[in-house]
Copies of this chain bind each other. A is one copy, B any other.
């Protein structure tokens, strides 16, 4: 086998570590970089190394922010401080924020409980949430962890810890996705949408 020159080989090795990028794609991307102009490569390389330097974590909700101190949501005067929406990741925050519907605050757990993967309660921001509840006394905690086994058990675990606090704990409704057909619904979603049926 003829090997690629070392500089190319090293880059392909790095790219193969990206989830979803196999050996062929890694080669294809490396060759794209090779044929790109120098400005693009320089910019990409700088943006990569700047990534972590320019992103800070909000000390209250653990959202990513480019400013020092609290993030734009936590520091906004227009948000409802009596509501805290608990999500697994920053991406989930973005998804909810983009609905434009939610006006409360967030709390990012930075993961979900998953003992098999070593994700124990102390690995995610659960204690920080309890401290916030103690200090900020919100009226409601909305558990918006993912609607799967791990997300559910994380929400359940947290709700147990919070049961003695004077705070309402809610969970995102499970049911049929809007705009879908009944025939394509999975059984669990359909069962949930029966159980949680609403009065018209």
Residues of A with Cβ closer than 8 Å to B? 1-2, 4-8, 10-11, 14-15, 17-21, 25, 27-34, 36, 38, 40-55, 64-66, 90-91, 94, 97-98
Q: Which residues of the partner chain B approach A43 to less than 8 Å between Cβ atoms?
A: 10, 14
**What is the total number of copies of this protein in its complex?**
2
Q: Select from chain B the residue with minimum beta-carbon distance to A2.
A: B97
Asked if B14 contacts A20 (CB within 8 A), the reply is no
On whether the beta carbons of A55 and B7 are closer than 8 Å, the reply is yes
Complex-state Cα separation, A32 to B15, whole angstroms? 11
20 residue pairs A–B, Cβ–Cβ below 8 Å: A4-B64, A5-B64, A5-B65, A6-B54, A7-B53, A10-B43, A11-B51, A14-B40, A15-B44, A17-B40, A18-B32, A19-B28, A33-B48, A34-B52, A38-B52, A41-B51, A41-B52, A42-B49, A45-B45, A45-B49
- Give, as a whole number of angstroms, the nearest-CB distance from A85 to chain B: 13
A47 → chain B closest CB, angstroms: 4
* CB-nearest residue of chain B to A89: B31
A-B CB proximity, top 5 nearest:
A7-B54, A2-B97, A5-B66, A45-B48, A45-B49
Task: Give the chain B neighbours of A15 by CB distance below 8 A.
Answer: 44
Q: Judging by beta carbons under 8 Å apart, are B44 and A5 in contact?
A: no
Query: For residue A21, which residues in chain B have a CB less than 8 angstroms away from its CB?
Result: 29
Give bound CA distance, A55 to B12, whole Å: 14
Tell me how far the C-beta of A164 lies from the nearest C-beta in chain B, rounded to whole angstroms.
34
State the CA gap A7–B50 with chains docked (Å). Answer: 7
Q: Are A28 and B20 in contact (CB under 8 A)?
A: yes
Q: Tell me which of B33, B45, B55 contacts A8 (CB under 8 A).
A: B55
Neighbouring B residues of A51 by C-beta, 8 Å: 7-8, 11, 30, 33-34, 41
Whether the pair B55, A48 counts as a contact (CB closer than 8 A) is no
In the bound complex, do residue B20 and residue A25 qualify as a contact, i.e. CB atoms below 8 Å apart? yes
Q: A32-B18, A41-B52 are in contact. Are A47 and B11 (CB under 8 A)?
A: yes
